[in-house]
Amino acid sequence: MIDRQLKDALMQAVKQAATILPSDVVDALKRAEAKERSDLAKGQLSAILKNCEIARTGALPICQDTGIQTFFVEAGMSSPYLAKLRVIGAFIAEATAEATVAIPLRPNTVDPFTGKNPGDNLGRFMPYINWELVDGDEIMITLLPKGGGSENMSALMMLTPGVGMEGLKEAVVDHVVACGGKPCPPTIVGLGIGGGADIALKLAKRALLRDVGSRHPEPVVASLEGEILELLNMSGLGPMGIGGVTTALAVHVEYAFRHPAALPLGIVLQCWADRRAKVRITADGRVEVI
Amino acid sequence: MEREITLPVAQDLVRELRVGDVLYLTGRFFTARDEAHHLMLERKAKGEEIPFDPSQMALFHCGPVVKEEGTGRPREISPPGAIPWGWRVIAAGPTTSARMEMFEDRFLSAFGVKIIIGKGGMGERTQRALEAHGAVYTHYTGGAGALAAKAIEQVEDVFWLDELGMPEAVWIFRVKSFGPLLVTMDSTGGSLYTELAKTIAKNMVKIRERMKD
């Protein structure tokens, strides 16, 4: 019973993520549209909002780059459905392949050696699933379909600890501004600080799962997020990199403690089409798409 | 200045276009991303024929989502009452043009393309090629794939679909009033990106001062 529900819910989540932009992102885009002064910049945001409305009402993909389907599974260690983790992986792959035809999604997985595209969004390690055990009695599956244009603008910097937070802010601003219009601004800037090379990038990507406009619970981190956002929007790069006051919609920081000799900084940008959907399996066996 | 342009476009008209002009295009586009640029240049170099005439169309940096619909097979007459076979465009916004920078000057020279549609802008080599060949680069809102699809009336053909896959294949679209397209690089050396870079450089000085506060 729950198997059927789970499979359907995953299908629905893939569809929802591809076609309906979460309301926190739409709201942020509307605020940006109101704030822009030039017709050019305003026009970009108006086109984006109009596009999202066409996609939502017509159940069409928001962007032709429907992305690489990336799933984050957070399994509560007290969940009575932990044994389902075995089938969740298979269901995720099936839902991805079926949704590719049903929605449709663009076939976006390519063999790096032969260049062949199997046409179903499957392939070695695709869709990518990030498994994690957490406290609690629920299983939460978050889908983050992410386009190539923004992913190409990711960066890892192993900063010298001596540069401090000032050097880190400078590195972020320089990088995001240098990306220009390529990641489809206004972007959501995910930053992972500390840990190590892999951890910093992983945290940066995970930072994108947060709602746009949410702040880190720790005041020091929250204030860094606000400050970097303000600095980025002073640059004048603007929507789509053609000038304006909205270069980023949000900056989300996640961090880990670092090695004394290292200050890793992971930067992962998300385009304005910050598509997300969640499937929750509650302790009493309900399967919900959020 | 806003202009409705029908493709193929006259060389004189393209030479008149300036950064800041807004275009609405009617006619034919062909899509080409990295792989298609590479393949077409290779075929041309070997003296092989390209199965369509790129010089009559606008070049669209795009990897669309298209859906096969209807009954029958390509170029076959479908049974009475049935939806004829065809491809329908679901979403077709521009892809990041910078990836094509390594090909574009040779591509413009080889195929006589006059209008490029993309997002994010292109580099110095393309800028010089636009000047040399009298062409322009235009910007369409990135990610607005559902909106763009509305102006695409028909998929007329597709080339190299089996070899390249859906995103990288060359699709021929018939479009009506496709736009607004903002001219961001013109044939006289004008570039919105170069101008904006100057403003950003000034702003970066202020940003660095603020960071020290």
Q: Which residue of chain B comes nearest to A185, CA vs CA?
A: B142
Q: Are strands B136-139 and B115-118 parallel, antiparallel or unpaired?
A: parallel
Residue range B32-65, pLDDT digits in tens: 999 999 999 999 999 999 999 999 999 999 999 9
Q: Are strands A128-134 and A68-76 parallel, antiparallel or unpaired?
A: parallel
Q: Does B90 touch chain A (CB under 8 A)?
A: yes
Predicted local distance difference test score (pLDDT) of residue B82: 65
pLDDT-derived band at B180 (thresholds 50, 70, 90) equals very high
* Chain A neighbors of B36, CB-CB under 8 A: none
Peptide bond into B180 cis (omega under 30): yes
Please name the member of B119, B164, B210 whose beta carbon is closest to the beta carbon of A240.
B119
Query: Is the Cβ–Cβ distance between A120 and A107 less than 8 Å?
Result: yes
A38, A52, A65: best to mutate for the B interface, most B CBs within 10 A: A65
- Mean of pLDDT values over B166-180: 96
From A86, A224, A98, A247, select the one nearest A164 (Cα to Cα). A224
- Mean of pLDDT values over B97-113: 97
Q: Which residue of chain B comes nearest to A150, CA vs CA?
A: B96
Query: Is the Cβ–Cβ distance between A18 and A103 less than 8 Å?
Result: yes
B96 contacts A152? CB cut-off 8 A: yes
| Chain B closest-CA separation from residue A223 CA (Å) | 13
Compare A224 and B1 and report the one with higher pLDDT: A224
- Mean of pLDDT values over B109-130: 97
Predicted local distance difference test score (pLDDT) of residue B212: 81
For chain A, helix, strand, coil in percent to 5 are 40, 20, 35
| Chain B closest-CA separation from residue A243 CA (Å) | 7
Neighbouring-strand partners of residue B66: B89
B182 contacts A271? CB cut-off 8 A: no
Please name the member of B164, B168, B203 whose beta carbon is closest to the beta carbon of A235.
B203
| Chain B closest-CA separation from residue A253 CA (Å) | 18
- Mean of pLDDT values over B105-128: 97
B141 contacts A51? CB cut-off 8 A: yes
C-alpha to C-alpha distance for A180 and A195, rounded to whole angstroms: 28
* Chain B neighbors of A164, CB-CB under 8 A: none
C-alpha to C-alpha distance for B76 and B73, rounded to whole angstroms: 5
Query: Is the Cβ–Cβ distance between A204 and A267 less than 8 Å?
Result: yes
B180 contacts A242? CB cut-off 8 A: no
Residue range B185-195, pLDDT digits in tens: 999 999 999 99
C-alpha to C-alpha distance for B186 and B192, rounded to whole angstroms: 9
Q: Quick check: is B37 catalytic? A: yes
CATH 3.30.360 positions along chain A are 2-20+62-147+275-289
pLDDT-derived band at B86 (thresholds 50, 70, 90) equals confident
Q: Does B13 touch chain A (CB under 8 A)?
A: no
What token pair was written down for B195?
A: 């101008």
Q: Does B161 touch chain A (CB under 8 A)?
A: no
From A79, A44, A61, select the one nearest B146 (Cα to Cα). A61
pLDDT-derived band at B70 (thresholds 50, 70, 90) equals confident
- Pick out chain A residues at pLDDT < 50: none
| Chain A closest-CA separation from residue B94 CA (Å) | 8
pLDDT-derived band at B75 (thresholds 50, 70, 90) equals low
Q: Three-state SS across A144-188?
A: EEECHHHHCCCEEEEECHHHHHHHHHHHHHHHHHHCCCCCCCCEE
C-alpha to C-alpha distance for B93 and A88, rounded to whole angstroms: 33
The CA-CA-CA angle for residues A247, A252, A257, to 5°, reads 135
Report domain A2-20+62-147+275-289's class: alpha beta
Q: What is the ipTM of this complex?
A: 0.91
What token pair was written down for B83?
A: 């939806």
* Chain B neighbors of A55, CB-CB under 8 A: 91, 145-146
Locate the DSSP E strands across B18-131.
22-31, 58-60, 65-69, 86-91, 115-118
b/e for B67-106, b at 16 or more Cβ within 10 A? eeeeeeeeeeeeeeeeeebbbbbbbbbbbbbbbbeebbbe
- CATH ID of A149-270, from 1.10.20, 1.10.3470, 3.30.1330, 1.10.3060: 3.30.1330
CATH 3.30.1330 positions along chain A are 149-270
Q: Does domain B2-212 have CATH number 3.20.130.10?
A: yes
Residue ranges covered by each domain of chain B: 2-212
Instruction: With a cut of 60, say whether residue B167 has pLDDT above it.
Output: yes
Instruction: With a cut of 70, say whether residue B12 has pLDDT above it.
Output: yes
DSSP string of A248-267?
A: EEEEEEEE----TT-EEEEE
